[in-house]
Amino acid sequence: SLFQDKTDEIKQTINFETPVSQPDVPFILIVDDDVEFVTHTKTFVEREGFQVVIALTGEKGLELFYQVKPSLIILDQALPDIDGIELLKQIFVKAQKDVVPIVMVGTSDCEENRIKAYEMGATDFIAKPLNMNVLIPFLHNRIRHRKHMLKQIGEDELTGAYNRKYLERELSSQLVMLKKDDRMAALSFIIVDIDHFKSVNDRFGHPKGDEVLKEFVHTFMKIKAPMDTISRYGGEEFAIVMPDTSKTEAFERIKAWRESFSNVTFNAGDNTFNVMFSAGIKEVTVNDDHLNRIIEQADKALYHAKETGRNKTQF
C-alpha cells in the first residue's frame, strides 16, 4: 500500500529505534502519518536541542507514549489507523496526570475540528502548514510551563522522580482503585535505599553522589511498567508504587532494575565504581487501609534487607 511504501521510505531517513533518553533533554513525540511534515518538523525541533520520536500510526504513538514519556505530544488529527481524537481520548488521563501538553495538528482549520480537539482535552490546536518560526518558541514556552507545573505538583528537581507529597496522593488514590477494581488483586509498595551512599559522597564528592541518584532513577524508568511511579522519599531513599502487581512480580521487576543499575560504571577521576541498593516490598491488598502501616511494613522489609547483607530485596 501507499502507506507501507511511505513507511519504508521514512525508515531509511528517520531513526526508528527508540532513543535512549538523556535525563535532561525533553522528548517531543510526533504522531503523524505525513512523512514530509514529520521529517521537516523533526529537523527543526532537534536543532533546538529537543529529542524527537516519531510514530506514523496511532498504534505506534500509543506505544511510544508509554515507552518514552514525552514532555509534549504533537498529534495529527487524521491518522491511518486510530483517529487522532480517539487516540487523544486514550491518552488524555495519563497525559494530564503527567502534565504532558497535547498539541493537535489538523489539515484544515475548521471550527469543528478545533472544538472537538479542545473538548477531548487537547492543549492546543494548530492548523497545517505549521510555521516553524512560530512552532519553536511555542514549544519552548510549553516545555517551560510544564517544568513549572511539575514542580508545583510534586516533581523532585534533582532526579525527576516525584516527591513525597505526590507519593502520598498516588498511594492513596491507588488504594482506592484497588478497592474499586475486582480485577486487581494487589499492588506493590516498595521502599528502596542505596547501599553505602554516604561513602560515595565521602570518596567522590556530592556532585558525583547526585549523578548516582539521577542514574538510579533513570535506570528505573527504563525497566518500569507504565503505571509504576517512583518518588523521592528522603535523601537517597525512594518509594515505588506498582499498581496491579503482586510481590513476586515486583520482585522480578526490581531484579531487572538491580541488574541494569549494577552494570552502570561511574567514573570519578581515575576511579570507577558501581553502586548497589536494597529494597523492601509490601504487598498491599484490599485489607490494607492505613498508609502509615503500609509504609512501616515496607520499611521493615527494607531494614531486614540491609541487616542481612544489603544488595537484595525482601518482602
Q: Which residues are catalytic?
A: 236
Minimal distance in Å, beta carbon 215 to Mg ion?
A: 15
Give the type of residue at 149: M
Q: Binding-site residue total for ligand GH3 (CB under 6 A)? A: 16
Q: What angle do CA 108, 63, 163 make, to 5 degrees?
A: 105
Contact 304, 314 (CB under 8 A): yes
Minimal distance in Å, beta carbon 107 to Mg ion?
A: 7
Judged by CB under 5 A, the stretch of 169-177, 186-194, 199-207, 264-272 that binds Mg ion is: 186-194
Contact 75, 124 (CB under 8 A): no
Query: Does residue 306 touch ligand GH3 according to CB under 6 A?
Result: yes
Give the type of residue at 309: G
Three-state secondary-structure class, residue 219: helix
From residue 174, how far is each of 9, 94, 179, 187, 253 by CA, in Å?
44, 14, 9, 8, 19
Minimal distance in Å, beta carbon 216 to ligand GH3?
A: 11
Query: Does residue 193 touch ligand GH3 according to CB under 6 A?
Result: yes
Q: What is the 3-state secondary structure (H, E, C) of 104-172?
A: EEECCCCHHHHHHHHHCCCCEEEECCCCHHHHHHHHHHHHHHHHHHHHHHCECCCCCCECHHHHHHHHH
Interface residue with ligand GH3, options 39, 201, 246, 311 (CB under 6 A)? 201
Query: Does residue 7 touch ligand GH3 according to CB under 6 A?
Result: no
Smaller CB distance to Mg ion: residue 140 or 196? Answer: 196
Q: What is the 3-state secondary structure (H, E, C) of 268-308?
A: ECCEEECCCEEEEEEEECCCCCCHHHHHHHHHHHHHHHHHC
Query: Which of Mg ion, ligand GH3, none sits in contact with 198, Cβ below 5 to 8 A by type?
Result: ligand GH3
Smaller CB distance to ligand GH3: residue 137 or 207? Answer: 207
Query: Does residue 300 touch ligand GH3 according to CB under 6 A?
Result: no
Query: Which of ligand GH3, Mg ion, none sits in contact with 170, Cβ below 5 to 8 A by type?
Result: none
Minimal distance in Å, beta carbon 198 to Mg ion?
A: 7
Contact 240, 174 (CB under 8 A): no
Query: Does residue 210 touch ligand GH3 according to CB under 6 A?
Result: yes
Q: How far is the C-alpha of 297 from the C-alpha of 277, rounded, in Å?
A: 18
Name residues contacting ligand GH3, limited to 146-165 (CB under 6 A): 158
Name residues contacting ligand GH3, limited to 212-251 (CB under 6 A): 213, 235-236
Name residues contacting Mg ion, limited to 210-249 (CB under 5 A): 237
Query: Which of Mg ion, ligand GH3, none sits in contact with 148, Cβ below 5 to 8 A by type?
Result: none
Query: Which of ligand GH3, Mg ion, none sits in contact with 149, Cβ below 5 to 8 A by type?
Result: none
Name residues contacting Mg ion, limited to 269-298 (CB under 5 A): none
User: Cell match 518482602: residue?
Assistant: 315
Interface residue with Mg ion, options 28, 52, 76, 142 (CB under 5 A)? 76
**Binding stretches for ligand GH3 (CB under 6 A):** 158, 193-198, 201, 206, 209-210, 213, 235-236, 306, 310
